[in-house]
């Protein structure tokens, strides 16, 4: 099947920007999502982008979508220690009634 791929780890210093990258392979994806998982908790939706958009900004979060390269990124500005978590990229595929998750990127923010 198709895979959603992300790097497993990212470490940044407090106050820096974090960029988490994701690649997907199914061109029929309709929506792309970023979920955040804090320790011992379930996943929580952070933001999403519709497949006909290139960029979406929501306070400290910026999502960039490059459909040609099937590349999605999440930028967190002024990263705080509270942003330390696992971030999952996910795609929904309208025709298949399916939703696929990446393996998750563990973001560590050092003071």
Residues that bind other proteins (CB under 8 A): 1, 4, 8, 30-31, 40-45, 48, 50, 88, 92-95, 97-104
- Closest to other proteins by CB, 39 vs 82, is 39
- Closest to other proteins by CB, 39 vs 111, is 39
Give the separation between CA 102 and CA 52, rounded to whole angstroms: 21
Q: What's the half-sphere exposure (Cβ side, CA atoms, 13 Å) at 99? A: 8
Q: CB of 15 within 8 A of CB of 79?
A: yes
- Closest to other proteins by CB, 60 vs 101, is 101
């Amino acid at each position: 099947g198709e895979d959603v791929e992300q790097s497993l780890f990212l470490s940044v210093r407090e106050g820096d920007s974090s960029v988490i990258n994701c690649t997907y392979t199914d061109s029929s994806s309709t929506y792309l999502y970023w979920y955040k998982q804090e320790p011992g908790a379930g996943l929580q939706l952070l933001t999403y982008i519709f497949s006909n958009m290139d960029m979406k900004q929501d306070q400290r979060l910026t999502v960039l979508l490059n459909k040609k390269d099937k590349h999605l990124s999440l930028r967190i500005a002024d990263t705080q220690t509270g942003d330390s978590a696992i971030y999952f990229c996910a795609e929904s595929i309208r025709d298949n009634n399916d939703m696929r998750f990446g393996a998750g990127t563990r973001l560590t923010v050092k003071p």
